[in-house]
Structure 1
């Protein structure tokens, strides 16, 4: 990485907030980077930085979000616990069963807190869900994007970092999205920014010239 200041966008995953990146940001302290965080608005207003970054780092759904926006075309993407397709389909057997997504979509309308707590338990996060009422419309809308096959993903240089013990996106799913180029973190689950922030920070540095 050169000494010129590079702009990096950090995009959290479904049901999370920009605080997901706190430990990664701390691990990058002192690096010639301008870290800007996208807020997908699950617990407050949405926020997207202005301008065009040198690198986008997306966690889980955050990586798909980056690929859905054509104005970010050709910006390199580091997918952390990420994917290019989520739900299973006849031509994508490695995906997650759509019935689980349908159940979550129905559940959010009646008890969003319970759905979020259940999802976090599934991926090994014992932390409390952020306080305040969740933005159910945004949560449902992005679950629908995960459920539906998004064919209009733009092309971008992709680097993938995954956990070999990810309970949500297991290795076969990661390989189906990224091929053999995906790098697996030994003992890593679905929350590498929280459990392996130094590894994620090193991957960010490696993606920048």
Structure 2
């Protein structure tokens, strides 16, 4: 069976995937940990089915070797900030303000972001400021749109219509219409709020891989 390789987004860690992987006990799965709360872990998986949340998709496109068996992009994007040919992106000044504030108030910036994502009472005392800052700076300039479109594997994107981080317009601009599934009433944390449904999408994509 195809092995999953799960990549979390900014402000989270590998434990983010627990609810989803608990529903996929028959799958072999590895998790990337970007080291935002401790030691990073970047396993190598041959021809993985990449399951990526939020910034994790852009990171995976920039860092995980091809070929892939498939990719499931969840609340994700290959580019985050606005550009001349991507007006649906977030204004760069918003990320710049986060970067500036993070230098002096990292825990507060991280906590505010997690609360906005929908996390109740986030715990940020163990944060590692340097990797978080580096990833935030990279988020402000990354552009993996061409890399995504060049993938020859099966692809699907899941997005919430009430996502406060990745608006509907950004999702529609980021993914081909036949690959995108928009979920009514859902926010930025589909693997946590809709784990059974997301697990069913993993299984469907794996069957195509």
TM-score by length of 2: 0.90
| CA–CA separation in structure 2 for the residues paired with 1:130 and 1:53 | 34
> In structure 2, do the counterparts of structure 1 residues 7 and 74 end up closer, same or farther at CA, with 3 Å as the change threshold?
closer
Structure 1: state its 5+ residue gaps: none
Kindly indicate whether residue 29 of structure 2 is the aligned counterpart of residue 35 of structure 1. Answer: yes
| CA–CA separation in structure 1 for the residues paired with 2:68 and 2:97 | 35
Structure 2: state its 5+ residue gaps: none
| CA–CA separation in structure 2 for the residues paired with 1:123 and 1:22 | 18
Partner of 2:173: 176
- Larger deviation: 135-144 or 162-171? 135-144
| CA–CA separation in structure 1 for the residues paired with 2:87 and 2:101 | 25
CA drift of 1:150 comes to 2.5
CA drift of 1:145 comes to 1.8
Q: Which runs of 4+ in 1 moved over 4 A?
A: none
CA drift of 1:51 comes to 3.0
Partner of 2:136: 143
Alignment equivalent of 1:196, drawn from 194, 197, 201: 194
Partner of 1:164: 161
CA drift of 1:126 comes to 1.5
| CA–CA separation in structure 2 for the residues paired with 1:147 and 1:73 | 27
Partner of 1:7: 3
- Larger deviation: 160-169 or 123-132? 123-132
CA drift of 1:110 comes to 0.8
Matched residues, number: 202
